[in-house]
A and B are shown apart, each in its own frame.
Chain A
Amino acid sequence: MTSAEIKAVLEHQFPAAMVENEDLTEKQVELKGNQWLEIATFIKNDPDLSFDQLECITGYDTGEDGPLQTRYNLHSMEHRHKIEVVISHNRENPNVASIEQLWRIGDWFERETYDMFGIVYEGHRDLRRILCPDDWEGWPLRKDYEGQETYHGIVVQKMKEEEGWE
Protein backbone atom coordinates (compact mmCIF):
# COMPACT_ATOMS: atom_id res chain seq x y z
CA MET A 1 0.00 0.00 0.00
CA THR A 2 1.13 3.52 -0.62
CA SER A 3 1.24 6.04 2.19
CA ALA A 4 -1.89 7.73 0.85
CA GLU A 5 -3.81 4.45 0.93
CA ILE A 6 -2.66 3.74 4.47
CA LYS A 7 -3.81 7.18 5.52
CA ALA A 8 -7.15 6.61 3.83
CA VAL A 9 -7.68 3.42 5.83
CA LEU A 10 -6.84 5.25 9.05
CA GLU A 11 -9.14 8.10 8.12
CA HIS A 12 -11.94 5.67 7.44
CA GLN A 13 -11.48 3.78 10.71
CA PHE A 14 -10.61 6.61 13.08
CA PRO A 15 -11.91 9.85 11.58
CA ALA A 16 -11.74 11.63 14.96
CA ALA A 17 -8.07 10.83 15.49
CA MET A 18 -6.62 12.48 12.40
CA VAL A 19 -4.71 15.74 12.79
CA GLU A 20 -3.82 18.08 9.94
CA ASN A 21 -0.17 19.06 9.98
CA GLU A 22 1.36 21.00 7.09
CA ASP A 23 4.93 20.38 8.21
CA LEU A 24 4.84 16.64 7.70
CA THR A 25 5.87 14.81 4.56
CA GLU A 26 3.56 12.42 2.75
CA LYS A 27 5.05 9.41 4.52
CA GLN A 28 4.06 10.79 7.91
CA VAL A 29 0.70 10.99 9.58
CA GLU A 30 -0.22 12.83 12.74
CA LEU A 31 -2.74 11.29 15.12
CA LYS A 32 -4.31 12.36 18.36
CA GLY A 33 -2.87 10.65 21.39
CA ASN A 34 -6.06 9.65 23.17
CA GLN A 35 -6.93 6.71 20.89
CA TRP A 36 -3.39 5.62 20.19
CA LEU A 37 -3.42 2.17 21.82
CA GLU A 38 -6.60 1.28 19.98
CA ILE A 39 -5.23 2.50 16.65
CA ALA A 40 -1.93 0.72 17.22
CA THR A 41 -3.68 -2.56 17.97
CA PHE A 42 -5.69 -2.14 14.80
CA ILE A 43 -2.83 -1.36 12.44
CA LYS A 44 -0.79 -4.20 13.82
CA ASN A 45 -3.52 -6.82 13.48
CA ASP A 46 -5.39 -5.66 10.40
CA PRO A 47 -4.47 -8.05 7.54
CA ASP A 48 -4.22 -5.25 4.96
CA LEU A 49 -1.99 -3.03 7.06
CA SER A 50 -0.21 -5.62 9.19
CA PHE A 51 2.45 -3.35 10.71
CA ASP A 52 4.30 -6.14 12.45
CA GLN A 53 7.58 -4.32 12.92
CA LEU A 54 8.21 -1.25 15.05
CA GLU A 55 11.47 0.07 13.67
CA CYS A 56 12.06 2.99 15.94
CA ILE A 57 10.54 5.42 18.40
CA THR A 58 11.96 8.91 18.34
CA GLY A 59 11.28 11.86 20.55
CA TYR A 60 11.12 15.26 18.93
CA ASP A 61 11.09 18.72 20.39
CA THR A 62 9.53 21.30 18.09
CA GLY A 63 10.91 24.25 20.03
CA GLU A 64 10.27 26.22 23.19
CA ASP A 65 6.67 27.06 22.34
CA GLY A 66 5.76 24.01 20.31
CA PRO A 67 4.72 20.58 21.49
CA LEU A 68 6.87 17.55 22.17
CA GLN A 69 6.31 14.69 19.78
CA THR A 70 6.74 10.97 19.71
CA ARG A 71 7.35 9.47 16.29
CA TYR A 72 6.82 5.81 15.58
CA ASN A 73 8.40 4.26 12.49
CA LEU A 74 6.32 1.30 11.50
CA HIS A 75 7.07 -1.24 8.83
CA SER A 76 5.21 -4.23 7.51
CA MET A 77 7.31 -7.28 6.73
CA GLU A 78 4.42 -8.80 4.84
CA HIS A 79 3.42 -5.88 2.60
CA ARG A 80 6.74 -4.01 2.63
CA HIS A 81 5.15 -0.69 3.35
CA LYS A 82 6.00 1.93 5.91
CA ILE A 83 4.45 4.82 7.75
CA GLU A 84 5.60 7.24 10.38
CA VAL A 85 3.06 8.04 13.05
CA VAL A 86 3.46 11.36 14.84
CA ILE A 87 1.77 12.11 18.14
CA SER A 88 2.07 15.51 19.79
CA HIS A 89 2.10 16.04 23.54
CA ASN A 90 1.75 19.21 25.47
CA ARG A 91 4.92 20.35 27.15
CA GLU A 92 3.66 20.52 30.71
CA ASN A 93 2.29 17.02 30.94
CA PRO A 94 3.49 14.90 28.03
CA ASN A 95 1.96 11.47 28.11
CA VAL A 96 0.56 8.86 25.76
CA ALA A 97 -0.45 5.21 25.98
CA SER A 98 2.41 2.73 25.93
CA ILE A 99 2.59 0.22 23.08
CA GLU A 100 5.24 -1.78 24.88
CA GLN A 101 3.05 -4.85 25.21
CA LEU A 102 2.04 -4.72 21.56
CA TRP A 103 5.51 -4.49 20.02
CA ARG A 104 7.93 -5.79 22.66
CA ILE A 105 10.82 -3.83 21.20
CA GLY A 106 8.92 -0.72 22.26
CA ASP A 107 9.95 -1.41 25.84
CA TRP A 108 13.45 0.05 25.50
CA PHE A 109 12.49 2.58 22.81
CA GLU A 110 9.95 4.09 25.17
CA ARG A 111 12.38 4.05 28.06
CA GLU A 112 14.92 5.91 25.96
CA THR A 113 12.42 8.51 24.80
CA TYR A 114 11.30 8.91 28.40
CA ASP A 115 14.91 9.29 29.48
CA MET A 116 15.70 11.99 26.92
CA PHE A 117 12.40 13.90 26.68
CA GLY A 118 10.43 13.05 29.81
CA ILE A 119 7.46 11.78 27.83
CA VAL A 120 5.50 9.42 30.05
CA TYR A 121 4.20 6.23 28.45
CA GLU A 122 1.14 5.26 30.42
CA GLY A 123 0.94 1.56 31.07
CA HIS A 124 4.61 0.80 30.50
CA ARG A 125 5.53 -1.84 33.04
CA ASP A 126 9.05 -0.65 33.77
CA LEU A 127 9.42 3.00 32.84
CA ARG A 128 12.85 3.91 34.18
CA ARG A 129 15.71 5.89 32.73
CA ILE A 130 17.81 3.71 30.48
CA LEU A 131 20.96 5.70 29.59
CA CYS A 132 21.28 8.44 32.16
CA PRO A 133 21.75 7.50 35.82
CA ASP A 134 18.54 7.00 37.78
CA ASP A 135 19.06 10.17 39.80
CA TRP A 136 19.78 12.41 36.80
CA GLU A 137 17.89 15.69 36.72
CA GLY A 138 16.12 17.04 33.66
CA TRP A 139 15.46 15.78 30.16
CA PRO A 140 18.64 16.22 28.11
CA LEU A 141 17.27 16.37 24.56
CA ARG A 142 14.65 19.01 25.23
CA LYS A 143 15.53 22.35 23.70
CA ASP A 144 15.24 24.16 27.02
CA TYR A 145 17.49 21.71 28.88
CA GLU A 146 19.98 23.21 31.28
CA GLY A 147 22.70 20.82 32.39
CA GLN A 148 23.13 20.36 36.10
CA GLU A 149 25.93 22.12 37.98
CA THR A 150 27.15 19.21 40.04
CA TYR A 151 26.53 15.50 40.07
CA HIS A 152 27.25 13.71 43.35
CA GLY A 153 29.66 16.46 44.27
CA ILE A 154 31.52 16.26 40.96
CA VAL A 155 31.48 19.63 39.24
CA VAL A 156 30.03 19.40 35.76
CA GLN A 157 32.34 21.89 34.14
CA LYS A 158 30.65 23.91 31.49
CA MET A 159 32.41 25.51 28.62
CA LYS A 160 30.33 28.43 27.50
CA GLU A 161 30.59 30.48 24.34
CA GLU A 162 31.54 33.56 26.39
CA GLU A 163 34.82 31.93 27.29
CA GLY A 164 35.98 32.47 23.76
CA TRP A 165 36.39 28.86 22.75
CA GLU A 166 34.37 29.18 19.61
Chain B
Amino acid sequence: MGVLENKFQDNVIVASLDKLLGWARSTSPWYFQFGLACCAIEMMASAASRHDLERIGMMPRSSPRQADVMIVAGTVTMKMALRVKKLYEQMADPKYVISMGSCATSGGPYWQHGYHVLKGVDLVVPVDVYVPGCPPRPEALIEGLLKLQEKIQTERPLTRKSA
Protein backbone atom coordinates (compact mmCIF):
# COMPACT_ATOMS: atom_id res chain seq x y z
CA MET B 1 0.00 0.00 0.00
CA GLY B 2 3.00 2.18 -0.45
CA VAL B 3 1.36 5.00 -2.43
CA LEU B 4 -1.80 5.26 -0.39
CA GLU B 5 -0.23 4.95 3.02
CA ASN B 6 -0.57 7.94 5.33
CA LYS B 7 -2.67 9.80 2.77
CA PHE B 8 -5.81 9.57 4.87
CA GLN B 9 -6.89 10.40 8.39
CA ASP B 10 -5.96 8.12 11.25
CA ASN B 11 -9.15 6.08 11.31
CA VAL B 12 -9.03 4.96 7.69
CA ILE B 13 -7.39 1.66 6.88
CA VAL B 14 -6.22 0.83 3.40
CA ALA B 15 -6.06 -2.78 2.34
CA SER B 16 -6.46 -4.84 -0.78
CA LEU B 17 -9.97 -6.23 -1.08
CA ASP B 18 -8.60 -9.70 -1.70
CA LYS B 19 -6.72 -9.75 1.56
CA LEU B 20 -9.58 -8.19 3.42
CA LEU B 21 -11.96 -10.88 2.19
CA GLY B 22 -9.49 -13.59 3.11
CA TRP B 23 -9.16 -12.15 6.57
CA ALA B 24 -12.92 -11.84 7.04
CA ARG B 25 -13.57 -15.36 5.86
CA SER B 26 -10.81 -16.91 7.90
CA THR B 27 -11.91 -15.40 11.17
CA SER B 28 -15.42 -16.79 11.18
CA PRO B 29 -15.54 -20.22 9.62
CA TRP B 30 -18.74 -21.62 11.04
CA TYR B 31 -18.63 -25.35 11.25
CA PHE B 32 -21.19 -27.95 10.50
CA GLN B 33 -21.76 -29.97 13.61
CA PHE B 34 -22.33 -33.61 13.16
CA GLY B 35 -20.52 -36.27 15.10
CA LEU B 36 -20.11 -39.74 13.68
CA ALA B 37 -18.38 -41.60 16.50
CA CYS B 38 -16.16 -41.18 19.55
CA CYS B 39 -14.18 -38.32 18.00
CA ALA B 40 -17.32 -36.23 18.19
CA ILE B 41 -16.95 -36.20 21.97
CA GLU B 42 -13.64 -34.40 21.60
CA MET B 43 -15.20 -32.03 19.08
CA MET B 44 -17.90 -31.21 21.62
CA ALA B 45 -15.23 -30.74 24.26
CA SER B 46 -13.44 -28.32 21.95
CA ALA B 47 -16.60 -26.32 21.52
CA ALA B 48 -17.45 -26.29 25.22
CA SER B 49 -16.32 -23.77 27.77
CA ARG B 50 -12.78 -24.96 28.52
CA HIS B 51 -11.48 -24.74 24.96
CA ASP B 52 -14.23 -22.56 23.53
CA LEU B 53 -14.08 -22.57 19.75
CA GLU B 54 -16.05 -19.34 19.56
CA ARG B 55 -12.91 -17.62 20.76
CA ILE B 56 -11.47 -18.26 17.28
CA GLY B 57 -14.72 -17.35 15.58
CA MET B 58 -16.08 -20.84 15.10
CA MET B 59 -19.64 -21.52 15.89
CA PRO B 60 -21.60 -24.71 15.32
CA ARG B 61 -24.39 -24.69 12.75
CA SER B 62 -26.89 -27.47 12.32
CA SER B 63 -27.60 -26.84 8.67
CA PRO B 64 -25.15 -27.43 5.84
CA ARG B 65 -26.47 -24.28 4.15
CA GLN B 66 -25.10 -22.09 6.91
CA ALA B 67 -21.79 -23.84 7.40
CA ASP B 68 -18.37 -23.16 5.89
CA VAL B 69 -16.39 -25.99 7.42
CA MET B 70 -17.38 -29.57 7.77
CA ILE B 71 -15.61 -31.37 10.60
CA VAL B 72 -15.82 -35.07 9.85
CA ALA B 73 -15.48 -36.31 13.41
CA GLY B 74 -15.46 -40.06 13.55
CA THR B 75 -15.91 -43.29 11.70
CA VAL B 76 -17.48 -42.91 8.28
CA THR B 77 -19.39 -46.04 7.43
CA MET B 78 -20.34 -46.86 3.87
CA LYS B 79 -23.92 -46.05 4.73
CA MET B 80 -22.90 -42.66 6.03
CA ALA B 81 -20.43 -41.98 3.21
CA LEU B 82 -23.24 -41.31 0.77
CA ARG B 83 -24.84 -38.94 3.25
CA VAL B 84 -21.57 -37.16 3.97
CA LYS B 85 -21.16 -36.56 0.27
CA LYS B 86 -24.69 -35.26 -0.04
CA LEU B 87 -24.24 -32.93 2.92
CA TYR B 88 -20.99 -31.66 1.47
CA GLU B 89 -22.72 -30.91 -1.79
CA GLN B 90 -25.40 -28.98 0.08
CA MET B 91 -22.89 -26.61 1.67
CA ALA B 92 -22.44 -23.24 -0.01
CA ASP B 93 -19.06 -22.28 -1.45
CA PRO B 94 -16.46 -21.57 -0.16
CA LYS B 95 -16.42 -24.79 1.79
CA TYR B 96 -13.74 -26.71 3.62
CA VAL B 97 -13.43 -30.14 5.15
CA ILE B 98 -11.46 -31.21 8.19
CA SER B 99 -10.85 -34.90 8.63
CA MET B 100 -10.67 -35.43 12.36
CA GLY B 101 -9.11 -38.58 13.78
CA SER B 102 -7.65 -41.67 12.20
CA CYS B 103 -11.05 -43.12 11.30
CA ALA B 104 -11.98 -40.26 9.05
CA THR B 105 -8.46 -40.10 7.66
CA SER B 106 -7.79 -43.75 6.91
CA GLY B 107 -10.34 -46.04 8.48
CA GLY B 108 -8.54 -46.06 11.83
CA PRO B 109 -8.93 -49.21 13.90
CA TYR B 110 -11.18 -50.61 11.17
CA TRP B 111 -8.63 -50.33 8.39
CA GLN B 112 -8.29 -54.05 7.89
CA HIS B 113 -11.40 -55.89 8.97
CA GLY B 114 -13.98 -53.13 8.89
CA TYR B 115 -15.92 -54.33 5.88
CA HIS B 116 -18.39 -51.46 6.20
CA VAL B 117 -15.99 -48.59 6.96
CA LEU B 118 -14.88 -46.06 4.39
CA LYS B 119 -11.08 -46.08 4.35
CA GLY B 120 -10.67 -42.34 4.46
CA VAL B 121 -13.26 -39.65 3.93
CA ASP B 122 -11.09 -38.21 1.16
CA LEU B 123 -12.47 -40.95 -1.06
CA VAL B 124 -15.76 -39.05 -1.20
CA VAL B 125 -15.03 -35.40 -0.39
CA PRO B 126 -11.89 -33.26 -0.77
CA VAL B 127 -10.14 -32.74 2.58
CA ASP B 128 -8.23 -29.58 3.52
CA VAL B 129 -6.76 -30.49 6.89
CA TYR B 130 -6.13 -33.87 8.47
CA VAL B 131 -5.98 -34.02 12.24
CA PRO B 132 -4.30 -37.21 13.45
CA GLY B 133 -5.15 -38.98 16.69
CA CYS B 134 -7.56 -41.50 18.09
CA PRO B 135 -9.20 -39.33 19.22
CA PRO B 136 -7.26 -36.08 18.75
CA ARG B 137 -7.25 -33.92 21.85
CA PRO B 138 -9.13 -30.63 21.59
CA GLU B 139 -5.75 -28.87 21.37
CA ALA B 140 -4.95 -30.91 18.26
CA LEU B 141 -8.29 -30.11 16.69
CA ILE B 142 -7.81 -26.43 17.46
CA GLU B 143 -4.39 -26.54 15.86
CA GLY B 144 -5.99 -28.08 12.78
CA LEU B 145 -8.57 -25.32 12.74
CA LEU B 146 -5.90 -22.65 13.02
CA LYS B 147 -4.07 -24.29 10.12
CA LEU B 148 -7.28 -24.11 8.15
CA GLN B 149 -7.66 -20.44 9.01
CA GLU B 150 -4.13 -19.84 7.75
CA LYS B 151 -5.04 -21.58 4.55
CA ILE B 152 -8.20 -19.53 4.09
CA GLN B 153 -6.25 -16.36 4.75
CA THR B 154 -3.85 -17.02 1.91
CA GLU B 155 -6.65 -17.49 -0.57
CA ARG B 156 -7.30 -14.67 -3.03
CA PRO B 157 -10.97 -14.95 -3.93
CA LEU B 158 -10.94 -12.03 -6.38
CA THR B 159 -7.72 -12.87 -8.18
CA ARG B 160 -8.30 -14.74 -11.37
CA LYS B 161 -6.36 -17.96 -11.33
CA SER B 162 -3.98 -18.28 -14.24
CA ALA B 163 -4.79 -21.24 -16.41
Judge: A and B partners, yes or no: yes
> Residues on A close to B: CB < 8 A?
132-133, 136, 140, 145, 147, 151-152, 154-157, 159, 165
Binary contact readout B114-133 vs A (1 if CB under 8 angstroms, 0 otherwise)? 01101110011000000000
* 27-81 of chain B: CB within 8 A of chain A: 78-79, 81
Closest to A133 in B: B79
B107 vs chain A, min Cβ distance (A):
8
A157 vs chain B, min Cβ distance (A):
4
A148 vs chain B, min Cβ distance (A):
8
Docked-complex contact A154 and B112, CB < 8 angstroms: no
Is B24's CB within 8 Å of the partner chain A?
no
B interface, over-half SS: loop
A16 vs chain B, min Cβ distance (A):
40
Query: Within the complex, which residue of B79, B81, B112 is in contact with A159, where a contact is CB–CB below 8 Å?
Result: B112
Pairs across A and B, CB under 8 Å, 12 listed: A133-B78, A133-B82, A136-B78, A154-B118, A154-B124, A156-B78, A156-B115, A156-B119, A157-B107, A157-B119, A159-B111, A159-B112
**Additional 14 contacts, C-beta under 8 A, given A154-B81, A154-B118:** A132-B79, A132-B116, A133-B78, A136-B78, A136-B116, A140-B116, A147-B115, A151-B78, A151-B81, A152-B82, A154-B78, A154-B123, A156-B78, A157-B119
Closest to A165 in B: B112
* 77-124 of chain B: CB within 8 A of chain A: 78-79, 81-82, 107, 111-112, 115-116, 118-120, 123-124
B88 vs chain A, min Cβ distance (A):
14
A interface, over-half SS: loop
Q: Which residues of A contact B79 (CB under 8 A)?
A: 132-133
Q: Which residues of A contact B124 (CB under 8 A)?
A: 154
B contact residues, range: 10 to 19
B17 vs chain A, min Cβ distance (A):
40
Give Cα A157 to B123, complex, Å.
Answer: 10
Give Cα A133 to B79, complex, Å.
Answer: 6
Give Cα A133 to B80, complex, Å.
Answer: 9
Give Cα A165 to B112, complex, Å.
Answer: 9
Give Cα A109 to B136, complex, Å.
Answer: 34
Q: Which residues of B contact A159 (CB under 8 A)?
A: 111-112, 119
Q: Which residues of B contact A145 (CB under 8 A)?
A: 115
Docked-complex contact B111 and A155, CB < 8 angstroms: no
Give Cα A151 to B83, complex, Å.
Answer: 13
B86 vs chain A, min Cβ distance (A):
11
Closest to B115 in A: A147
Closest to B79 in A: A133
Give Cα A41 to B81, complex, Å.
Answer: 42
